[in-house]
Homo-oligomer: A and B are copies of this chain.
Amino acid sequence: MTTATPDQRIKTAQDHDVNAEAVELYLRRLQSQLCNSLAALDTGPGFRTDQVEHASGRGITAVLEKGEVFDRGGVNFSSVHGDCLPAAASERHPELAGFPFRAMGVSLVLHPKNPYVPTAHANVRFFTAEQEGKKPVWWFGGGLDLTPCYPFQEDCQHWHRECHNACAPFGKELYTRFKRWCDSYFYLPHRKETRGVGGLFFDDLVLESFDTSFAFLRSVGDCFSEAYVPLVKKRRDTPWGEREKSFQRYRRGRYVEFNLVYDRGTLFGLQTGGRTESILMSMPPEAHWRYDWHPEPGTPEADLYENYLQPRIWLPEES
């Protein structure tokens, strides 16, 4: 660690040694691994990769469109810096808004073709910011969440089991805390609905040390494939028709509403002058809106509304 430059290695307000270079290396590897495991599921055209350089940073955007399994999927790595941290970046540190910062992260969104395969999102990120005359501050953030159209209870339980297992080595209470944060973060107040069945969400995270915090981030990043790939394999051959596709397009409208109205990552990206096409790769390929539509009682569509779009306990370990 003695070879780290001042830029890569900063002493923080929490008096921990920070190794930003190691985080960046991990994030870039994670992006490759995610692309590989997802490309292995899809015999379509595969990922298109763009190296991105702009005034406030750089990144690698990997996007797959019109695949066999995914209508659209994106895995984005970005590293940005700026002189003026946007308000959207931190809830715990409002005093840092307006100060110099660095942010890096990997974001993933997958919109499957088959309406029985759930939409999935994951993100892991690292921030440092400094106020004049004070020590720099750092924190991690991230999580993963699942958005089914036609949900299966066992799939949701598998997903939450993997989320739980990623947290368990770092403390008994973490799963419950970050699962509930996820329920409240991915919530559309104007619809009185959660976006989906949740998973984990955390922000402004500092555990006992930088090393422990970073290990937790890796545990979350690494669990995504375990949590998601089995669900894709299990559901991708389920027959579907126009009814299911039409409902999927309608539900994707909610995904758009959440991302554009509420999502801090999206707003942060747009506010910091990030590359729009990389930020909005999270948009579904198609979204539909219908005026005042409600599912017929007793249908599978009603099951989603009645049983999956409010916070729910998935594991006995939630306490």
Contact = CB atoms under 8 A, between A and B. Distances in A.
Nearest to A283: B289
Dominant secondary structure of chain A at its interface with chain B? mixed
A41 interface: no
A270 to B, nearest CB: 5
A281 interface: yes
| Interface residues on chain A, size class | 20 to 34
Contacts of A277: 291-292
A162 interface: no
Interface string A266-280: 010010000011011
A281 to B, nearest CB: 6
B286 A290 contact: no
Interface in A275-311: 276-277, 279-281, 283-292
B286 A286 contact: yes
Nearest to A63: B291
A142 interface: no
Nearest to A276: B190
5 contacts: A190-B276, A257-B260, A285-B288, A286-B289, A287-B287
